[in-house]
Amino acid sequence: MRTLPNIIITGTPGVGKTVHCEQLAQETGLRHLSVNQVVKERECHEGFDDELKSYIVDEDKLLDAIEDDVPKGGYIIDWHACDLFPKSWIDLVVVIRCPSTSTLYDRLSARGYSERKLQENLDAEIFEVLLDEARQSYDEEIVVELNSEEDGDIESNCSRIEAWIDAWKKSHSESED
């Protein structure tokens, strides 16, 4: 039985996943697991897509690379997808959204995204692709949607997630008694 929860922070590129994860890791002591970093460092990919400027992730290799650690708990998983992680590993799925397409466009443009990659990500956000994926992959009660487009959003979102973590810890320590 885990003593610390596992949380996925997911969403379209540019919504603020990594900023949320870094702040939460600093404030809660949970470990920030950047899937992009694992993919690069442990070579959990099938090569690099030059057009989209991203690795082609080998999901089986990725799961093999993290399966000894993540099920034990205490991780904040940072990635733009969530459906590959087993339900038994995950306690909360937070889908970060940026409904303002002009804000998201500006963020992605600043990263130098190609027009094709920019449009694909805007379409994914508009059509709630990652929110739908989360809702289809996990139980409804563990999927939370939070917006991140204004200055105070990250702070309030992190406070909300921290409160959830505290409640999770309390309920899981009581169930052991």
Amino acid letter, 76: I
160 belongs to an annotated ligand binding site: no
18 belongs to an annotated ligand binding site: yes
H helix or E strand, kind and range, residue 95: strand 92-97
74 belongs to an annotated ligand binding site: no
Number of neighbouring beta carbons within 10 Å of residue 117: 18
- Among residues 57, 53, 157, 37, the alpha carbon closest in space to that of 97 is found at 157
101 belongs to an annotated ligand binding site: no
120-126: Cβ within 8 A, 24+ apart: 121/12, 121/13, 121/14, 124/12, 125/12, 125/15, 125/97, 125/98, 125/99, 125/101, 126/101
117 belongs to an annotated ligand binding site: no
19 belongs to an annotated ligand binding site: yes
Residues of each annotated binding site = 14, 16-19, 111
Residues of each annotated binding site for ATP = 14, 16-19, 111
